[in-house]
Amino acid sequence: MTNLQELPSRGHLLTEQINPASQHLDQLTPLELVDLFNQEDAQTLRAIAQAREALAQTITATAARLRQGGRLFYVGAGTSGRLGVLDAAECPPTFCTPPHLVQGILAGGDAALVRSSEGLEDCYEDGIAVVRDRQITAQDVVIGITAGGTTPYVHGALDGAQAVGALTVFMACVPSDQVQRAADIDIRLLVGPELLAGSTRLKAGTATKMALNIISTGVMVQLGKVYGNRMVDVAVTNRKLLDRALRILTDLTGIDRAAAADLLERSGYQVKRALLMHWTGLDALAAQALLDQHNGQLHAAKSAALDS
């Protein structure tokens, strides 16, 4: 147990400060409380806008690493870690990525997803160890997420990642003059004090989720997993996604649903491959070979086929 007299105060951190707008939170009516939350949540949009350049840099750098065989790791504890796990888990069904490509690492492991294990965030050595356990290399990207900026587990993981040459990104909701951190890219999501003092699952969590949405979607766009605004690499694994795949095909080709179903089946339930088959007359194997030649970029593969 830490000696209480030696425990440093975190009260100066932006995420721990008292929000003057909610000093009477416990006396508000439910409607007043909802209105106040709505008012404060506008800060999340401003925070994302202020971090736009760092977010764009992260997308560019991460896509470059993944094209060369690298992987993306989100590392965090508590809410920050759970949000990373959530974003990683959504990539395979949305973009048909292999599970290893985007991984969420949470202090305390899977058990901490549903039962709080906040004490584990204090172990710097565990953060270093997870880099070794996941065999992270110089090809990979590690995004350390910590709302208050001080989580030892995250700092350990970033230090371990830097030691092997991985690209490192630091994402926090406090300004750099409060918590400094060496990283290749520094993302600060400054949403201000929480309505419930110190509860970073609120605005900080919302802004973090927004930032991760932008990063993962942006990276997948760069990797050619989107055509226009359609998820053409969607994994067709249930009725909802089958319907989405059929609608993508009918919308982009003009064929009817029955023809789209036949095309999708002949493509091996690969929407991107099906589209290229329709536009070029190629069979499934030839269409896939052409996509592979153009790194999965449908626009490029289509142009190459039609121009030849």
pLDDT in tens, 14-23: 998 999 999 9
Token digits of residue 3: 């000696």
pLDDT at 119: 65
Which of 191, 223, 255 is the endpoint of a domain? 223
Contact 167, 215 (CB under 8 A): no
Token digits of residue 219: 């990276």
The model scores a pTM over 0.85: yes
Gap between the Cα atoms of 228 and 221, Å rounded? 9
Whether residues 202 and 122 share a domain: the answer is yes
Q: In this structure, is residue 12 part of a structural domain?
A: no
Which of helix, strand or coil describes residue 168? strand
**Vertex 41: Cα angle to 39 and 45 (nearest 5):** 120
pLDDT at 3: 63
Q: What percent of the chain has pLDDT over 90?
A: 88
Number of domains in the chain: 2
Region 202-223: what's the mean pLDDT?
Answer: 98
Contact 108, 173 (CB under 8 A): no
Whether residues 182 and 298 share a domain: the answer is no
Whether residues 137 and 216 share a domain: the answer is yes
pLDDT at 251: 97
Which domain does 277 fall in, by range? 226-307
pLDDT band at 25 (very low <50, low <70, confident <90, very high): very high
Positions marked active-site: 90, 121
Q: In this structure, is residue 276 part of a structural domain?
A: yes
Region 236-263: what's the mean pLDDT?
Answer: 96
| Of 146, 154, 209, nearest in space to 173 by CA | 146
Gap between the Cα atoms of 32 and 29, Å rounded? 5
Q: What percent of the chain has pLDDT over 70?
A: 95
Token digits of residue 139: 């090809």
pLDDT band at 4 (very low <50, low <70, confident <90, very high): low
Instruction: Tell whether the model's pLDDT for residue 102 goes beyond 60.
Output: yes
Region 161-186: what's the mean pLDDT?
Answer: 97
Residue 177 CA to its chain's centroid (Å): 26
Whether residues 125 and 235 share a domain: the answer is no
Whether residues 230 and 193 share a domain: the answer is no
**Vertex 58: Cα angle to 56 and 59 (nearest 5):** 65
Which of 223, 250, 271 is the endpoint of a domain? 223
pLDDT at 11: 63
Gap between the Cα atoms of 177 and 240, Å rounded? 47
pLDDT at 91: 96
Average pLDDT of the chain to the nearest whole number: 94
Instruction: Tell whether the model's pLDDT for residue 133 goes beyond 80.
Output: yes
Q: Which residues contact 102 (CB under 8 A, 6 or more apart)?
A: 71, 72, 74, 87, 88, 91, 216
Gap between the Cα atoms of 260 and 251, Å rounded? 10
Using CB atoms within 10 Å of the CB of residue 90, give its burial: 0 to 12 exposed, 13 to 18 middle, 19+ buried.
Answer: middle
Which of 223, 253, 273 is the endpoint of a domain? 223
Whether residues 89 and 122 share a domain: the answer is yes
Whether residues 86 and 205 share a domain: the answer is yes
- CATH assignment at residue 210: 3.40.50.10490
Whether residues 98 and 175 share a domain: the answer is yes
Whether residues 163 and 213 share a domain: the answer is yes
Whether residues 182 and 64 share a domain: the answer is yes
Region 267-277: what's the mean pLDDT?
Answer: 97
Q: In this structure, is residue 18 part of a structural domain?
A: no
Instruction: Tell whether the model's pLDDT for residue 6 goes beyond 90.
Output: no
Contact 48, 210 (CB under 8 A): yes
Instruction: Tell whether the model's pLDDT for residue 2 goes beyond 80.
Output: no
Gap between the Cα atoms of 150 and 124, Å rounded? 11
Whether residues 71 and 102 share a domain: the answer is yes
